[in-house]
Structure 1
Amino acid sequence: MTIALMWEAKAAEGRGEELLRWARGQRLATEPSRRETFAAPGDRVLVITWWEGEDEVSAELPELPTPESDLIARPVHRWRFRQV
């Protein structure tokens, strides 16, 4: 089974590029089978990681941390999905 973790943050005013660099520079304790980073209008950054072999969406998996509060405009959003 594959679990996908989605992490999305909105940068503080004028700090979109900095948030993107921050997200790209974050390393996880274990490397996922796949990782992609996206940017969107409004200085939003989305990171999706794919994990193989996990059989529950609640499995313990490393996640990106929350950036310093002055770098983001609101709390980070996180979602987990299982492949169906």
Structure 2
Amino acid sequence: MTVALMWEARAVAGRGEELLAWVRAQDLAVRPLRRETFRAPQDRVLVITWWDAPYDADLPELPDPDGELVTRTVHRWRFEPVAEG
């Protein structure tokens, strides 16, 4: 089974590039099948990692950045694929 972990944070205004650099520098204890990083308006950064694991597996996640870099708590979600139908 594949499970996708999503991590999303919003940087303090004007610090989006700093948050993006911080995210890119973060290593996970185990390498995922795939890892993609995105940015969006309002200094948002999103990271999606894909894992070959059960939905409820204990998987490494990105940490929270320093509280002075973000405007709110990091949002995290876990998803499983749905068959096309």
Output aligned runs, 1:51-62, within 5 Å: 51-52=51-52, 54-55=53-54, 57-62=55-60
Output aligned runs, 1:1-84, within 5 Å: 1-52=1-52, 54-55=53-54, 57-84=55-82
Structure 1 stretches of at least 4 aligned residues deviating more than 3 Å after TM superposition: none
Gaps of 5+ in 2: none
Gaps of 5+ in 1: none
SS of the residue 1:80 aligns to: strand
Distance 1:26 1:12 in 2: 19
Query: What amino acid maps onto 2:50 in structure 1?
Result: W
Distance 1:58 1:77 in 2: 18
Q: Percent identity?
A: 66
Matched length: 82
Cα distance, 1:14 vs. partner? 1.2
In the superposition, the TM-score normalised over structure 1's length comes to 0.95
In the superposition, the TM-score normalised over structure 2's length comes to 0.93
Residue by residue, what CA displacement relative to the aligned partner does 1:26-54 show, whole Å, maximum 9, x if unpaired? 000000000000000000000000001x1
